[in-house]
Amino acid sequence: TPGKAPTGKTDSKAAGMNPYVGLVSSLRAAWLTGKTRTAEHRVSQLEALGRFLDDKKQPILDAMASDMRKPRLEAELSEVMLVKNEVNYALNNLSSWMKDEFVVKNLVTQLDTAFIRKEPHGVVLIIGPWNYPLHLILVPLVGAIAAGNCVIIKPSEISSSAEKLVAEVLPSYLDKDCFAVVTGGPVETTQLLENKFDYIFFTGNPQVGKIVMAAAATHLTPLTLELGGKNPCYVADESDMQNVANRLVWGRCFNAGQTCVAPDYVLCSAETQEKLLPALRHAITQFFGPDPRESPDFARIISDKQFQRIRALLGSGRVAIGGQTDEKERYIAPTVLVDVQPSEPAMQEEIFGPVLPIVTVPNVDEAIAFINSRERPLVVYVFAADSKLVHRVLERTSSGGFGANDPIMQMTLLSLPFGGIGNSGLGSYHGKFSFDTFSHHRACLLRSMGLETMNSLRYPPYSERKMGL
C-alpha cells in the first residue's frame, strides 16, 4: 500500500503458517554463501551504515521530533553521533578484532596450532525499543555486521516515524540479501520469534525480555537482553548541591526521562534533601525557563499509554517541584517527588519519564541496604566528594554499570561494556564488546599427524605401565 512501510512478511500460504519463514530462510541462504564473512563485505556494509547516518541525518532528526519532540541536540547526540562513533570504531578496529587469537598450549600440543576463531553466529534478530529508536537498533547492528552476520532488524512500532524511516530507507543502503527490516508490534514479533535464529539481541522491558527468552529457549538460541529497571542515585551529605542538581536534572530530563540509564530515584538524608530541593528547582529553571512547556529543549512523552502511566506516578508521595501535565501534548513537567514510600507506585516501577522521587535514608549504609533489597539495576549512581564513600557503594552493591558524580556518561565510552545484570539484563555490547557478543568464539586445535608413538600412550589397552604415566 502506498505510504505504508514494508513489513518483511511474505505470503503466509506459500511459506507455510508463519509469515516470516520465507524471509528467514532467504537470509539463511545468504549467510551460507559465506559472503558476510569476508572483511570486504563487513567494511562495505559498515561504510554504508555510516553513509545512511550522514545522508539521512535530517530525516532522522525530523522523525525524532515527530515521535517525541526529541530536541535536536539530544537527537543528534544520541541517535546520530554515538552511532557514528560505533561505526568508525568498528571500521578502525575490524581487522584486529577478526584475527585468530593464538593461545597458550600444554606439553602434549606443543607442536600443534591452537587458536580462537571469531565466527559469526549466522542469522541474527535485533529487536529494539522506542526511546532511542535508531541508536538501540543501529549500535547492535554495527556489532552484528562487524562480526559477519546476516540480520533482521525489528524496530519498535511505537516510535512510528523512526520505524517508517528504518523500514523504507535503511535497506536501500545495505545488502538486501543479508539485511532486512521487519515492522510491527507484539503480534509480529511473536511470529518472528517462532523462527529459529542463531542469536537474538533484545532491548526492552524485563517483562517482554522474559517472553523473548522463553521463545529463544525453544530453539536453544543464545541471546543478549538489554532491559530496564530503577537506577538508584545516592547523594552524600557533603556534596556541591548545585553541581549535583545540574547533573541530576540533565540526566533525568534528557529525552524527557525516557532513558534506560537515567537516575530513577534519589536516596539521601533528610538534611541533604532540604539542600538539594532548591538546587534542583534552580537547575530546572536554568535549563528550561519558568515554564518548561515553552522550552524547545524538553521532549514529550512518546504515547498516551506512557503519559497516563507516568501521570499516575505523580500520586506517590508529595509533589515538591513541577507536577504540571498536559494530556493533549503528552507533556509532563520536570517533577520532583518527596515523602515517597518505598511501597508506592513511583518506587515500584521504572519511572521512564521526567519525574524524580527522593527517598530519605539516614546514612550510606541504609542506602546500600535499600539498593540491595531490590532488583539489581542497570546502573548504580553515587554523588560524593569522598572517594572512599564512592568505593564503599561500588563494592557493596551490584548493577550492570556504575557511575560516580555524573549520570549517563559511562555509556558513551566504547571501552566499557554496556549491559545489565539480573533483572536489568544479560550480556553486554558497545565497541569490541559488541563484536564479541555477535561472534561465536570457536575453539580450534589443529594437530599434526606426527608423534604417534607419544599419542599411542592414550590408546587402549590401558596397561599398568600407561596408568603410571
Residues with a known catalytic role = 226, 260
Continuous segment of H or E residues that includes residue 268: strand 265-268
Which residue's C-alpha cell is 540491595?
372
CA-closest candidate to residue 412, choices 134, 62, 139:
139
For ligand NAD, the closer CB: 189 or 269: 189
For ligand NAD, the closer CB: 148 or 232: 232
Q: How far is the CB of 407 from ligand NAD (least distance, A)?
A: 14
Q: How far is the CB of 322 from ligand NAD (least distance, A)?
A: 22
For ligand NAD, the closer CB: 157 or 344: 157
Is the CB of residue 420 less than 8 Å from the CB of residue 231? no
Rounded to whole angstroms, how far apart are CA atoms 398 and 372?
8
Q: What is the DSSP letter of 451?
A: -
For ligand NAD, the closer CB: 239 or 424: 424
Length of the chain, in residues: 469
Rounded to whole angstroms, how far apart are CA atoms 351 and 354?
8
Which residue's C-alpha cell is 504515547?
303
Rounded to whole angstroms, how far apart are CA atoms 67 and 83?
19
Rounded to whole angstroms, how far apart are CA atoms 378 and 390?
17
Is the CB of residue 379 less than 8 Å from the CB of residue 402? yes
For ligand NAD, the closer CB: 148 or 420: 420
CA-closest candidate to residue 409, choices 181, 144, 82, 75:
82
Residue least distant from ligand NAD (Cβ): 228
Is the CB of residue 376 less than 8 Å from the CB of residue 422? yes
For ligand NAD, the closer CB: 216 or 338: 216
DSSP string, 313-369: HTTSSEEEE---EETTTTEE--EEEES--TTSGGGTS---SSEEEEEE-SSHHHHHH
Secondary structure class of 261 (helix, strand, coil): coil
- At 210, phi and psi to the nearest 5? -65, -40
For ligand NAD, the closer CB: 148 or 155: 155
Q: How far is the CB of 429 from ligand NAD (least distance, A)?
A: 9
CA-closest candidate to residue 265, choices 379, 405, 385:
379
Q: How far is the CB of 157 from ligand NAD (least distance, A)?
A: 5
Checking phi first, is residue 71 left (phi over 0); if not, alpha (psi -120 to 50) or beta? beta
Q: How far is the CB of 111 from ligand NAD (least distance, A)?
A: 46
Q: How far is the CB of 252 from ligand NAD (least distance, A)?
A: 14
Rounded to whole angstroms, how far apart are CA atoms 341 and 210?
28
Is the CB of residue 97 less than 8 Å from the CB of residue 414? no
Q: How far is the CB of 333 from ligand NAD (least distance, A)?
A: 21
- The residues binding ligand NAD (CB under 6 A) are 127-131, 136, 154, 156-158, 185-186, 189-190, 203-205, 208, 211, 226-228, 260, 350, 352, 378, 420, 425
For ligand NAD, the closer CB: 188 or 198: 188
For ligand NAD, the closer CB: 77 or 319: 77
CA-closest candidate to residue 28, choices 160, 96, 120:
120
Q: How far is the CB of 18 from ligand NAD (least distance, A)?
A: 14
- At 382, phi and psi to the nearest 5? -140, 135
Can you read off the three cell numbers belonging to residue 439? 561472534
